Amino acid sequence: MNHDKARAVLDRTPKDEPVFVLRAQDAFAFVLLAQWVGLAETSGVPEAKLKGARNDLQLFAGWLDAGGHSKIPD
């Protein structure tokens, strides 16, 4: 998801609702997102949401394949 779309999601999230953000550089992010997609596929998540998550997974992979460096969170 790009910054603008992420900002739009955050803007409509209630201010008192906790939010957790994963960045492509996070060494755990790709695996965690892939696990989320797997769980969502077996839990009845709407196809449009799955499509977005699968796209995000491809974006993370593409960023890493293009030379993006992952690191352990600091």
Upper half-sphere CA count for residue 4 (Cβ side, 13 Å): 0
The pLDDT, as a whole number, for residue 51 is: 96
Work out the percent of the chain whose per-residue pLDDT is above 90. Answer: 80
Tokens 């797997």 belong to: 38
Per-residue pLDDT of the chain (74 residues; tens, 9 = 90+): 878 888 998 999 999 999 999 999 999 999 999 999 999 999 999 999 999 999 999 999 999 999 998 899 88
Tokens of 73: 């969170």
The pLDDT, as a whole number, for residue 57 is: 95
Please tell me the distance from the alpha carbon of residue 74 to that of residue 26, in angstroms, as a whole number. Answer: 9
